Amino acid sequence: MDKPLGFRELGVVPYEPTWQAMRRFTDERKPSALDEAWLLQHPSVFTQGQAGKAEHLLNAGDIPVIQVDRGGQVTYHGPGQLIAYLLLDVRRLGLGVRELVTRIERSLIELLASYNVEAVAKPDAPGVYVNGAKIASLGLRIRNGRSFHGLALNVDMDLAPFRRINPCGYAGLAMTQLRDHTGPIEFAEVTQRLRQQLVSQLGYADQITLENN
């Protein structure tokens, strides 16, 4: 890919307007538009994928639940989790969906390796795992050859809300986060390492930082 990948670092932003902005970007983008990755955090929210089953939401309590148009089951987003929404022209990249998922997982595995944390992907359960516990989730939607939604990496957060659900549809799935394997960690540094890995693994020539709208 001779074009750079454009990054927007959005800070902590509410889920629903960000989701609607992703949909608008995907529907309205021109064929020549740069691919973008939006890096952000969300306030506490559960999101339920298109095929999500109600029984996997055990006890939402005071945390809102939003039904969304990505693949997968229910997951949790909250402060201290690094989210990358990947707004990519998948056809232009020349990637099939399985290859795209594999490359995203590899980006996360290599990022974690840079912190001396050994992680693996599972062919039957998208995401990235450390010693059997899930540290990163993936959920994509492809529409007209373009992707949106993306990945969520647990960096330094309260993991307790994951106990209110069957994460990604798996009862009793253990969750972990990067801080538990490294000690105190700089969120901004993790963000920069993820940027580098996404550019490298997805095959972009370079990266640029875009101004937030």
* 6 contacts 34 by C-beta, under 8 angstroms: yes
Q: Say which residue the tokens 């039957």 belong to.
A: 124
Q: How far is Cα 194 from Cα 199, in angstroms, rounded to an integer?
A: 9
Phi, psi of 8 (to 5 degrees): -120, 125
138 has binding-site annotation: yes
Would the annotation count 139 as a binding residue?
A: yes
Closest among 199, 75, 97, 195 to 141, alpha carbons compared: 97
Is 152 annotated as a binding-site member? yes
Choice among 84, 159, 168, 202 that is catalytic: 168
Confirm or deny that 77 is annotated as ligand binding. yes
- Residues 105, 23, 68, 35, Cα dihedral to 10°: 0
Instruction: Please tell me whether 132 is known to bind a ligand.
Output: no
3-state secondary structure labels for all residues of 17-41:
HHHHHHHHHHHHCCCCCCCEEEEEE
Alpha helix positions (H), 4-142: 15-28, 90-93, 97-113
Cα-Cα-Cα-Cα dihedral sign, residues 17, 208, 83, 124: positive
User: Has 168 been annotated as catalytic?
Assistant: yes
Catalytic residues: 168
Residues in binding site: 70-77, 137-139, 150-152
Residues in binding site for substrate: 70-77, 137-139, 150-152
